[in-house]
Amino acid sequence: MRFKHRGNLLAPGLACLLLAVADPSSAQECSPDDQSLEGLPIISISIENENIFDPEVPEQNLWIHRMMNLLHIPTRKETIEGMLLVNPEDAYSQKVIEENERLLRAQDYLHDAEIRPEVVCGEGVRLRVVSTDNWTLTGGLSANSTGGETRTSFRLEEANLLGMGIGIKLERETDEDREQNILSFRDSDWFGNRKRLELVLGDNSDGHLYNLDLSRPFLQLDSTDAWAVTLNSRVYETPVYDAGVIVDKVGQDRALFQFSYQWSEGLIDDAVTRWGLGWEMSETDYFATADFPAAAVSESEVTRFPFVTYTYLKENYLQLTNFRFIGVTEDLAIGDNLSLRLGWKDEAFGTTREGIVFGLNYGVGSSLGEQTFAFFDLEVGYETNRNVEGTGNINLGGRMYHYRDPDHAYLVSATLEAARVSEPVDQYLLGGDSGVKGYPVSYQNGDRKVTLSFEKRDYFKWYPLQLFKLGTALFAETGSAWVSGRDPNFIGDVGFGLRVVSTRQSNSKVLHADIAFPLSERDQVDSYQIYIKARAQF
């Protein structure tokens, strides 16, 4: 929201004064356009949370809308109040208001949110927080076909239990690797003070998954400190593929503990710098599986090390629609985002392999014009070991979006991934949902991977029952995954698909229904592949 000065402030001020003299009880309110808001004291904050649908809008007053409103428990005012970055008597800051709006819109149980200022002449600003809920009880059965493999799932989830912002989920999934039953719990304000608790309990056909995350994150750019604790235990079997066929399986039993603390001076000149210290320790045991009892098993690994972190964030955001979803306002961070981690493994800490641990993540976006946007991502990880060869990876990704108009867009994306690995399970896969959909799941594998894709997207204005948005995609893809030292063998496909997204549902996924036709090695694969999957974005 941006407000401009209009006219002289003397006349509105005299008008407000005359009203006050004539009737002291009258509201001395000015339009936000009549004076600058920056620095004025915040007098009061009111919260107006609306249900899912507005019955005053005819298109949202059908029986299904009234039924959903009746069955839905609205978000409590206390829940929204707990996410506010401002308090009465604070000085008004447009940057903080915009940041708070982004924070509210990021909550999956809210459909939209806006903070509206109302100026009181000579006194300050009244704020109205206006939000709209999403439907938060979701679930169902699904069967997805991806690259020749069928996956089934059952899910029941409540993303806003009793309107308190608490999420709980029960799911069962079966795919080509395992069957798993998972119970998840999330609370973003656990016992107040904006602490976040996430708990995952999983019982799998090949082991288990237990994970506990407790943290107090940086809630805003101007926050000065944060901490996090992670406990994880996982037992699982990882298949090794060759031309889409499982040729080996390696069992892993891994336990992890990590603690970190970060501090910052807050937002200075539109940028944030954060430093941190932490401690990580893990133990991994490898074992032979029942399917491949004669497989070679690596020695157990124990890793314990302290680490330091550095983060740099540049404040710069865009608002777009029809980007990752359809018909939804999205806040995109395009400023520089750099994070570094450096750790030291030493026998004195009980680690089995001495050396350094290095990690780097960098992302940035750019507006190349009113209708063209580009994004770049870099991830680097490297770990040295005194007695064995070091391991590491580098992943590069780039995407460019061009909007011909609000209903049509083009996307070009490319990725480059390379790794130095010590275990056969550490491999890149290509085919199915891992890229180039015209080929079976894990059709190629190796420690190198390249992909390039082009996509034309069309978004429909049709809005069935004010519940669903639809779009289509035409795509062409190519790529290769191979072992270093060998020549890459590029494969490619073309295809088309339908996209469907529920716009009034928390944790909404985009349904992809695609048919892809391979362009090479057609004598070794089917003439087409059907790809049906719910994904996180378009």
| pLDDT bracket for residue 289 (50, 70, 90) | confident
Question: Rounded CA gap, 37 and 35, in Å?
Answer: 6
Looking at residue 113, what is its pLDDT? 94
pLDDT at 12 over 60: no
For residues 64 and 426, the model is more confident at: 64
**Any domain includes 464:** no
| pLDDT bracket for residue 415 (50, 70, 90) | very high
Looking at residue 1, what is its pLDDT? 33
Length of the chain: 538
pLDDT at 439 over 60: yes
pLDDT at 143 over 50: yes
pLDDT at 123 over 60: yes
Question: Rounded CA gap, 432 and 153, in Å?
Answer: 18
Tell me phi and psi for residue 119, to 5 degrees: -85, 135
Secondary structure in 3-state letters for 339-401 = EEEEEEECHHHCCCCCEEEEEEEEEEEEECCCCEEEEEEEEEEEECCCCCCCEEEEEEEEEEE
Q: Quick one: average pLDDT of 346-371? A: 91
* Residue 72 structural domain: 10-133
Q: Quick one: average pLDDT of 17-21? A: 37
Looking at residue 192, what is its pLDDT? 76
Looking at residue 18, what is its pLDDT? 36
Q: What percent of the chain is predicted at pLDDT more than 90?
A: 62
For residues 290 and 91, the model is more confident at: 91
**Any domain includes 79:** yes
CA 462 to chain CA mean position, Å: 27
Please list, residue by residue across 149-166, b when 16 or more beta carbons sit within 10 angstroms of its beta carbon and e when fewer do.
bebebebebbbbbebbbb
Please list, residue by residue across 311-337, b when 16 or more beta carbons sit within 10 angstroms of its beta carbon and e when fewer do.
bebebbeeebebbebbbbebebbbbeb
Looking at residue 238, what is its pLDDT? 80
**Any domain includes 76:** yes
pLDDT at 37 over 70: yes
pLDDT at 512 over 80: yes
Q: Give the SS3 label for residue 434.
A: helix
| pLDDT bracket for residue 206 (50, 70, 90) | confident
Tokens of 434: 């891992």
Tokens of 75: 């978000």
Q: Quick one: average pLDDT of 503-509? A: 85
**Any domain includes 225:** no
Would you give the end-to-end CA distance of the chain in angstroms? 27
Q: Quick one: average pLDDT of 383-388? A: 76
**Number of domains making up the chain:** 1
* 117-121, 265-269, 361-365: least confidently modelled range: 117-121
Q: What is the mean pLDDT of the chain?
A: 87
**Any domain includes 271:** no
DSSP annotation of 154: E
pLDDT at 132 over 80: yes
Q: Quick one: average pLDDT of 300-315? A: 94
Looking at residue 21, what is its pLDDT? 40
**Any domain includes 246:** no
For residues 227 and 534, the model is more confident at: 227
* 240-254, 346-360, 489-503, 522-536: least confidently modelled range: 240-254
**Any domain includes 497:** no
Q: What is the dihedral of CA 154, 159, 164, 168, to 10 degrees?
A: 30
Contact call for residues 371 and 402 (beta carbons, < 8 A): yes
DSSP string, 157-192: EEEEETTTTEEEEEEEEE-SS-EEEEEEEEETTTTS
Looking at residue 420, what is its pLDDT? 85
**Any domain includes 60:** yes
Please list, residue by residue across 175-208, b when 16 or more beta carbons sit within 10 angstroms of its beta carbon and e when fewer do.
ebbbebbbebbbbbbbeeeeebbbbbebebebbe
Looking at residue 175, what is its pLDDT? 76
Looking at residue 323, what is its pLDDT? 86
Here the CATH number for the domain that contains residue 105 is 3.10.20.310
